[in-house]
Structure 1
Amino acid sequence: MTAPRLIVPDASLHASWVESFAEWPDPQDHHGDGLLLAGDLDLRVRADFSEWVRRLIEDEVRPRPGLVTATNRWLVDASGYLGSGQLRHHLGTDYLRDRGGHIGYSVRPSARGNGYAHVILQGMLHEGRIRGLGRVMVSCLADNAASAATIRRAGGVLCDEDDQPGLLRFWISLN
């Protein structure tokens, strides 16, 4: 089996991604996967999925109205899609400043417990350094102990808890 690696989203992973999506009890639990860019596309349809992948790649240089530029990466191994990460290049919306942060990531349920979230987060931190960011905000739900531990392991320092209980915000220095 090949070691997991971060790649630019790839339409050839359609079947694996669809299998992953079916594992999620609530599609709203996806963080850092760029589903907002899918709009009204049906990602089960190969052509729509390919269009979404094109949008994810284009998002790095030309974001859609109301969104910020973002780098999207997928974690894959020989078995296929394992998860995703997204680095938002700046906190240019109220939602990102208040809740979303610079980085979002998710690991498909069947692949959890293998350290993949750490791999994705480290990759997104590297992307942030490449883009000259000095620090990034990463948030998670307070009841997601695994994500909070992943963020702390990467150097995250808790800055506050949201006014709406249950959201933790961390800052990670990239210097």
Structure 2
Amino acid sequence: MGNELRLVRPSAEYRDAYLSFYNEWLGSGEKMVPWVIARDPSDFAAMLDYLFSQDSEEKLDDPNWVPHSTYWLIDGRNEVAGVTNIRHRLNRKLLNSGGHIGYGIRPSARRKGYATALLALALQKARELGISDVLVCCDRNNVGSEKTILKNGGVFESEYTEEDGGAVKRFWIGP
């Protein structure tokens, strides 16, 4: 499986594969993670423009946001198996409970090792962005995500309780 998985920048080339991913997740009724996948793709070109609209410091127009890059995990059948969003730096909110990397695997592709591979590939991208110590967070009760983070070298630092009462576990992954 590992060699056939790759990260790609979002593009119209994968439109049908992404719509399949999005519709499956939407149909599951689960919270969409990472946050960028909740963006409605019905105007696909506009969604792509949005994904690239904040991928550098120069493009930011809101001081509360940080630059971020989104990648799609493509499997051997050219399907979108997952999505990762990498924050280039941390603000206070991300330091407390968001981290550098958010990721999600489509419901039908879970428990097959995709998340571990996706996080490993996202860590490579983070290193390319110059991020040596990477913060990755997960909900306190998300055992699968915690195992994924630990498999990728995560070292537990602390828990943080968000304003809404939800608790997240914070892990650092070094070089």
TM-score past 0.5 threshold: yes
Deviation at 1:129, TM superposition (A): 1.3
Name the counterpart of 1:8: 9
When the two chains are superposed, the root-mean-square deviation of aligned CA atoms in Å is: 2.1
CA deviations on 1:3-41 (whole Å, 9 max, x unpaired) are: 12111111232222222222223353312x5247x4xxx
Matches within 5 A, 1:85-124: 85-92=84-91, 94-124=92-122
Letter in 2 for 1:90: R
Q: Which residue of 2 aligns with 1:63?
A: 60
- The answer to whether the Cα contact below 8 Å between 2:139 and 2:166 also exists between their aligned partners in 1 is no
Q: Is the 8 A contact 1:142 1:168 kept in 2?
A: yes
Deviation at 1:172, TM superposition (A): 0.8
Shift of 1:148: 0.3
Cα shift readout 1:114-172 (whole Å, capped 9, x = no counterpart) = 21111211111111211222201100112211110110011101101113453111111
Residue 34 (str. 1) matches residue 20 (str. 2): no
TM (norm. structure 1) is 0.83
Count the aligned residue pairs. Answer: 165
Residue ranges of structure 2 left out of the alignment (5+ in a row): none
Q: Percent identity?
A: 32
- Contact preservation (8 Å) 2:22, 2:37: no
Q: CA deviation at 1:95?
A: 2.3
Higher mean alpha-carbon deviation, 2-11 vs 146-155, is at 2-11
- C-alpha deviation, 1:101, in angstroms: 0.6
